[in-house]
Amino acid sequence: MSAAHEASLHPDEKYKAGKMGQKVVTGGLVGFVVLTALSWLLSGSAAGHTADGTGHSRFFYGYLIGWTFILSIALGALLYVLIHHLVKAKWSTSTRRVAEILAGTFPIIAIGGLVIIIPLLAGRDDIYWWANKGFDHAEHVSASKHTWLSPAFFAVRYVIYFAAWIGLARYFTVRSRKQDETGDLALSKQMQFFSAPAVIIFALTICYAAFDFLMTLAPQWWSTIYGVNYFGGAMIAGYASIALLSMILQRTGRLQRSITTEHYHDLGKMVFAFTFFWAYTAFSQFMLIWYANVAEETVFYNYRMFGEGWKWVSIVLTFGQWLIPFVLLMSRWSKRILPLFAVFCVWQLCFHWLDLYWNVMPNYHWGAEAHGAAHLVTGPLTGPVGENNVNFSPVDITTWFALIALFIAGIGRGLKGNLIPVKDPNLGASVAHENY
Amino acid sequence: METNENNDHDEATSAHAGETSPATGSTSGHDGARASSNSDEGELYGVLAEFDSPGALVKAARKVKDAGYGDFDCYSPFPVHGIDEAMGIKRTILPVLVFCGGITGTFLGFLLQWYCNASAWQWNVAGKPVWSIPANVPIGFETTILLSVFTTFFGMWILNKLPQVWHPFFRLDRFTKVTDDGFMLGIEAKDGRFDAVETKKLLESAGAIAVEECYLDASPANTKMPMFIYGVIICTTALALVPFALVYKARASHSKDPHYHIFGDMDFQAKVKSDQYNDLFADGRSNRGEISGTIPRGWLNDDTSYAQGLENGAWITSFPTSVEVSRDLLRRGKQRYEIYCSPCHGVDGRGAGMVAVRSQKIGQGILPRNLVDPGAGVITQPNGQLFNTISNGNNTMMGYGAQIPVADRWAIVAYVRALERSQFAAGTDLTDAERSAAMGATP
């Protein structure tokens, strides 16, 4: 039986990773350390927030954006694997190992997240206002939020999320790799069986993680669709990254025949679909808040639509992350002409970062001295809207690159053994897959 | 490849030689499966060939296309991958049509809302603007989907020449297999290359397991559409007009019957409106007002110099730090002054506005203060006090705080200051160039 499946690969096909993984890990880690140190130096010597947008808080804000960025890619890739098994997909078999490699980065992301968690546990309020003393006295925040938002409980949830994600990723990766050797069909059955509860665990954890890591930046504000919107961005990033990593692996001469234009075309359809999904959820969130016009809720958009500079970021985001790729990715050629598709993937990843930037950065100013000590008590999104400038800083970019480097190191850990599930019963169908 | 095809063909022809060999004459092409006699056969419609697998059908289609035929089609129980390419069918233009349909939907959706809400029937709903893009997006989205789907659905029908209730091949019993396990290829006689003998040979050599000729019905009556179909069309059209007739009747006649409430819980919602009576509260009002001791978000005026013109209990003499006195501010102030103040105080501030002139004529009312005369005292008032007069009024003058936003009030203050100054302009206020220009103009 298994011999037949292996035969679905061309005899000349190169699908072994070889030793390239180690180099990638070293390169990624060095890049991470160097860029993180550089960002820390660039963020100036002042602790906390400063008016001109420097200070170590700036470093932490940039770091949070970069970290939630790479986390979203890993989450997107994880769901790719879960959906593959859940619907017994065939076409996505060829690129499934690539997704598994991306989803295998959770442990290293968890370690990277300690940069956020440890200062928090040490009582620092560089990122989250609710870690500030002022929060304890803020009366307009309900009591239950005080319970939920304590550094210790936050850290506990951090552990739960990563236990879930690392556990899910391992469950599927280990079995998938084992099938490479044994060709055992029971492993496929096991994965299919577990994929259904796994998707539920995934949905709950990604929602709550988005609430915790991003939405609590402004703890007075809330939106129930927030997690779904983060999920939409994560799926764009996940599919785009799977396509890019596959292209990179193909450039090394591997997987020449088993990942074809047809697979990129389908990955492109998913990028396209989730581009719209992201916009749909983003608009759903905006629309309800805009229409109800309740000050507690509109404050989020008030800063982003009327803040000097931020309104331009909002417009650029609408066009860049949604309208332009939505119209252009509609054509089958923008998905089938691979250099063009690669450009769209990179484009969407950049705008996904901008989306996170837009979500995170407007909260930054609460501690800035320019707005006086009062804001230490009232928190983010309470100062004059007009004074909430973008204050772009190079640190925002260097921290992003630092975390991409960390992510690359995580990818390197997975670049070993086979780069394709060689004995998966559906591999033949996937390799022969065609779009009509 | 070549050899394979030849093998298939050899097998096919040898296995079914009995069926295909008599097919040489023009009217004797039937293999005997049909019970009908030749007498009711009309013109030759085309030939139909059956193949034993989808793969064979694809190969045959390619061969027929390469032989230069155009008027032929393939029939199979399920979609066969690759058949379009083999038959030489161009990519469908349906996606382009759907795209255009979608864009049209967006446009019409917005147009509809603009016409209904912003043009024909402007209706104030909770103080929302009558025309606002965010509110229109959901409907625009729906109409985009609607017209895309319609274009897809009807476009597919039209491009496929559907509905097609009857086809000449239905006359062959063999053709019923196409809904089960038959893979068929039919070439029409109207094709320029069609030749009763050669075409069949070609199909046989392409691996057909059977080739049959198909004739149209000889009697013209049988080619007509059955009468009952006309009946169905007329009846459904008539039924479709009933709702319109009912709507027309409702609009054109009067009735004492109560309305139909299709969505009762939408028409009678379990909620109170702000001005309704409500016996739940002692004062009988539904509107509970602001809760004492609270301030709505964004209403906190902690900057007293800006919100009240006061600093440490005294009127401010300059402008608050957040107000930047600029040409733009003065221009705004002029405009606002002329709207809100000039009817009484006059455009020049001397108190000869329309209202004042009229009240003097009828001998009633108190004259507005002259804002620019030093004797009237406004010139020496601090800015904060002037701001306060605009906000809260003074003696018999009403306050305008409810109508004029704070920023505009400061603009008016700046403009009144400019008006005052303008009454005492000296030649030295002008630049040299301006002065010489002015002198030149008035010799």
Q: Hey, is the C-beta of B293 within 8 angstroms of any chain A C-beta?
A: no
Q: How many domains in chain B?
A: 2
Does residue B442 belong to any structural domain of this protein? no
Residues of A in Cβ contact (< 8 Å) with B137: 283, 287
Please check the confidence at residue B81 and state whether its pLDDT lies above 60.
yes
Measure B31 CA to nearest chain A CA, in Å.
37
Residue type, B343: P
> Which residue in chain A has the smallest CA separation from B92?
A436
Contacts with B125 from chain A: Cβ below 8 Å: none
Q: Taking CB atoms and an 8 Å cutoff, what residues of chain B touch A296?
A: 297
The answer to whether residue A9 is domain-embedded is no
pLDDT, tens only, A337-380: 999 999 999 999 999 999 999 999 988 865 554 444 555 556 77
Nearest residue on chain B to A332, alpha-carbon basis: B95
Closest CA–CA distance from residue A384 to any residue of chain B (Å): 9
Tell whether B62 and B190 lie within a shared domain: yes
Amino acid at A20: M
Among B223, B244, B265, give the residue marking a domain's end.
B244
- CA nearest neighbour of B358 among B346, B370, B371, B372: B346
Residue B94 at interface with chain A, using a CB cutoff of 8 Å: no
Angstrom distance (rounded) from CA B170 to CA B105: 40
Interface test with A, best of B87, B98, B141, B297 (most A CBs within 10 A): B297
The verdict on a CB contact (< 8 Å) between B134 and A291 is yes
In a domain, residue B100? The reply is: yes
Does A367 reside within a domain? yes
Are B73 and B204 contained in the same domain? yes
Alpha helix positions (H), B206-353:
227-252, 264-267, 304-307, 327-340, 342-345
Minimal C-alpha gap between B222 and chain A (Å): 40
Q: Contact A169/A103 with Cβ under 8 angstroms? A: yes
Distance from CA of B82 to the nearest CA of A (A): 8
What is the C-alpha radius of gyration for chain B, rounded to an integer number of angstroms? 44
Highest mean predicted confidence (pLDDT) among A373-382, B172-181, B270-279, B300-309: B172-181
Instruction: Look up the domain containing B380 and give its range.
Output: 308-436
Q: Indicate whether A146 belongs to any domain.
A: yes
* Two tokens, residue A120: 């928090």
Model confidence at B36, in pLDDT bands (50, 70, 90)?
Answer: very low
Select from A414, A396, A401 the least CA-distant residue to A245: A414
B22 has a pLDDT exceeding 60: no
Q: Which residues contact B175 (CB under 8 A, 6 or more apart)?
A: B48, B75, B169, B182, B184
- Residue A158: name the closest of A125, A123, A202, A111 by CA: A111
User: Domain end: B215, B244, B273, which one?
Assistant: B244
Q: What would the pLDDT profile of B337-394 be if each residue is shown by its tens digit? A: 999 999 999 999 998 888 998 888 888 878 898 998 888 888 899 999 999 999 999 9
Q: Is A308 helix (H, G, I), strand (E, B) or coil?
A: coil
Tokens 């440890």 sit at which residue? A118
B281 inside 8 A of chain A by CB: no
Q: Do B84 and A287 touch (CB under 8 A)?
A: no
Measured between its terminal Cα atoms, the distance across chain B in Å is: 106
Q: Which of B81, B128, B297 sits opposite A436 (nearest CB)?
A: B81
- Determine the distance from the C-alpha atom of residue A35 to the mean position of all C-alpha atoms in its chain, rounded to a whole number: 20
Confidence class for position B442, pLDDT limits 50, 70, 90: low
Buried b (16+ CB within 10 A) or exposed e, A142-173: eeeeeebbebeebeebbeebbebbbebbebbb
* B297·A299 Cβ contact <8 A: yes
CA A399 to CA B77: how far, in whole Å?
58
Assign residue B365 the CATH number of its domain: 1.10.760.10
Alpha-carbon gap, residue A168 to A162, rounded angstroms: 10
Cβ contacts of B276 within 8 Å, gap of 6 or more: B286
Look at residue B296 and give its three-state secondary structure: coil
Of A283, A434, A436, the CB nearest to B137: A283
Which residues of A touch chain B, with CB atoms under 8 Å apart?
283, 286-287, 290-291, 295-296, 299, 330, 434, 436
Residue ranges, chain A, pLDDT below 70: 1-7, 48-54, 133-134, 136-142, 365-378, 383, 387
pLDDT at A49: 66
pLDDT of residue A176: 96
For the cut 70, the answer to whether the pLDDT of residue B134 exceeds it is yes
**Residue B441 is assigned to a structural domain of this protein:** no
Work out how many CB contacts closer than 8 A connect A with B: 19
Cα–Cα distance measured from residue A231 to residue A221, given in angstroms and rounded to the nearest whole number? 19
The per-residue DSSP string of B219-242 comes to: SGGGGSPPHHHHHHHHHHHHHHHH
Residues of A in contact with B296 (CB under 8 A): 295
Instruction: Assess if residue B249 is contained within a domain.
Output: no
Record the pTM: 0.73
Contacts of B82 in chain A (CB under 8 A): 436
Q: Which residues of A touch B298 (CB under 8 A)?
A: 295
Q: Which residues of A touch B138 (CB under 8 A)?
A: 287
- How close does chain A come to B126, measured CA to CA in Å? 10
- Structural domain contains residue B267: no
Residue A19 lies in a domain: no
Among the listed residues A386, A387, A357, the one whose alpha carbon sits nearest the alpha carbon of residue A369: A387
| pLDDT for residue B334 is more than 60 | yes
- How many CA atoms within 13 Å lie on the side-chain side of B278? 13
CA–CA separation, B313 and B388 (whole Å): 13
- Between chains, do B297 and A296 touch, taking CB under 8 Å as contact? yes
- Residues B109 and B235 both lie in one domain: yes
Residue B202, token pair as written in the block: 């070609």
- Partners of B297 on chain A (C-beta within 8 Å) are 295-296, 299
Q: Tell whether B14 and B146 lie within a shared domain.
A: yes
Q: How far apart are CA A72 and CA A274, in angstroms?
A: 13
* B127 in contact with A, Cβ within 8 Å: no
CA B158 to chain centre: 24
* Residue B170 and residue B65 share a domain: yes
- Could you write out the DSSP letters of every residue in B147-210? HHHHHHHHHHHHHTT------GGGGSGGGGGGGTT-EEEEEETTSTT--TTHHHHHHHHTT-SE
- Residues near A129 by beta carbon (within 8 Å), at least 6 away in sequence: A135, A217, A218, A219, A363, A366, A367, A379, A380
Looking at the structure, tell me whether residues B193 and B47 fall in a common domain. Answer: yes
Same domain, B31 and B106: yes
Does B268 fall in a domain? no
Domain assignment present for residue A21? The answer is no
In this structure, the answer to whether residues B79 and B214 fall within a common structural domain is yes
Tell me the three-class secondary structure of A197-239, residue by residue: HHHHHHHHHHHHHHHHHCHHHCCCCCCCCHHHHHHHHHHHHHH
Q: Which residue of A has its CA nearest to B80?
A: A436
Chain B environment of A291 (Cβ under 8 Å): 128, 134-135
B76 to chain A, closest Cα gap in Å: 17
Residue A1 lies in a domain: no
- Note whether residue B293 is domain-resident: no
Minimum CA–CA partner of A331 in chain B: B95
> Nearest-CA neighbor of B62 among B203, B235, B217?
B203
B205 shares its domain with B313: no
Last residue of a domain, one of B224, B244, B264: B244
Beta bridge partners of B214: B46
What are the tokens at B190? 């109207």
**B134 to chain A nearest CA, in Å?**
7
Judged against a pLDDT cut of 60, whether residue B26 lies above it is answered with no
B443 touches chain A (CB under 8 A): no
The answer to whether residue B401 sits within a structural domain is yes
Cβ-defined contacts of A316-319 (< 8 Å, 24+):
A316/A354, A317/A351, A317/A354, A317/A355, A317/A358
Give how far B49 is from chain A: nearest CA, Å.
25
Q: What residue of A is the nearest CA neighbor of B298? A: A295
Percentage of chain B beyond pLDDT 90 is: 47
For chain A, the domain total comes to 1
To the nearest whole Å, the CA of B201 is away from the closest chain A CA by: 31
Q: What is the pLDDT of residue B4?
A: 41
Averaged pLDDT, B306-319 = 90
Q: CA of B206, closest CA in chain A: separation in Å?
A: 25
pLDDT for the residue B207? 92
The mean of the pLDDT values for chain B is 85
pLDDT for B103: 96
Q: What is the distance, to the nearest Å, from the Cα of residue A87 to the centroid of all Cα atoms in its chain? A: 23
Per DSSP, the three-state class of B275 is coil
Inter-chain contact B138–A290, Cβ cutoff 8 Å? no
Q: Among A290, A330, A434, whose Cβ lies nearest the Cβ of B81? A: A434
What is the span of the domain harbouring residue A87? 26-427
Give the span between the Cα atoms of B404 and B409, in whole angstroms. 6
